[in-house]
Amino acid sequence: MTRLTLLTILVASFGAACTDDTTTETPDNTPPEGSTSGSEAETYDHDNSYFDPFAIIDRLAKEGPARYTSRVPSCPKPRYRTLGRVLGSLGVNMASTTPLSAAVLYRDGFNAMGGPNFANRIRENLAVSTSGASREFDIFAAAAPEIIAAVPTLARCQVNGVPAVLFNGNTCDPTGISCLIGTPATLTHLDFCKLTVENATTPDVGKRIAVAALLAAAYTCE
């Protein structure tokens, strides 16, 4: 046997010894089929029920697109300081120290209305609470006489230079109510005001209740 023949045999034998076995075998630890999926009790049950696209279109027409409604607040209570500024803009003397005046009820109602406690790092409570809503209505009721008297003198309540009034005698005036609630008065507002004045024990008491109720509705999203 020549040297070349012997070398050829050795190379062939070495190559056969180094060949990998490519046979694929299933590992012993492979879980059985279907064992990795959860049951209805272990997974979230997606609601695939049919929805009415026309109802969505109607809602968008009434509420506006999401890029608008996402920036519109729901209906929190007015912030404590904001309420004070509103009262002051309507002619209420916020520096008054007269017992049971709107200014005193406002200052004493700080905690009831969820005012912020910055010293203790407690933010203002924006939720409408029973105590806060009650105190807010008490403030509006106490402020009503001041507001009724002040509206004709307020620059914000003038229409083309003509002062607005809340009442002409015992008749509710739409210009004054519009200034009071910050939105154009509707027939519903006028009817409510009229019935309140007529059904009260006296017209003056009815006017106070009407003003307080309209303010409460405007600042509690009713």
Mean pLDDT of 209-215: 95
Mean pLDDT of 141-170: 92
Instruction: Report the pLDDT value the prediction gives residue 117, as an integer from 0 to 100.
Output: 87
Please give the residue that has the higher pLDDT: either 31 or 76: 76
Instruction: Report the pLDDT value the prediction gives residue 61, as an integer from 0 to 100.
Output: 78
In 90-220, which residue ranges form alpha helices assigned H by DSSP? 102-108, 130-150, 174-181, 187-199, 203-218
CA distances from 75 to 65, 66, 115 (A): 19, 17, 17
pLDDT digits (tens, 9 = 90+) for 161-170: 889 999 999 9
Please give the residue that has the higher pLDDT: either 62 or 112: 112
Mean pLDDT of 118-137: 86
Residue 163 has phi, psi (to 5 degrees) of -60, 140
Name 102's Cβ contacts closer than 8 Å, sequence gap at least 6: 87, 92, 94, 96, 139, 140, 142, 143, 146
pLDDT at 53 over 90: no
- Confidence label for 188 from pLDDT (cuts 50, 70 and 90): very high
Please give the residue that has the higher pLDDT: either 136 or 28: 136
| Residue 106: both structure tokens together | 């406002």
- Confidence label for 172 from pLDDT (cuts 50, 70 and 90): very high
User: What pTM was computed for the model?
Assistant: 0.64
Structural domain spans, the chain = 80-218
Mean pLDDT of 60-81: 73
Mean pLDDT of 195-203: 94
Percent of the chain topping pLDDT 70: 73
pLDDT averaged over every residue in the chain: 81
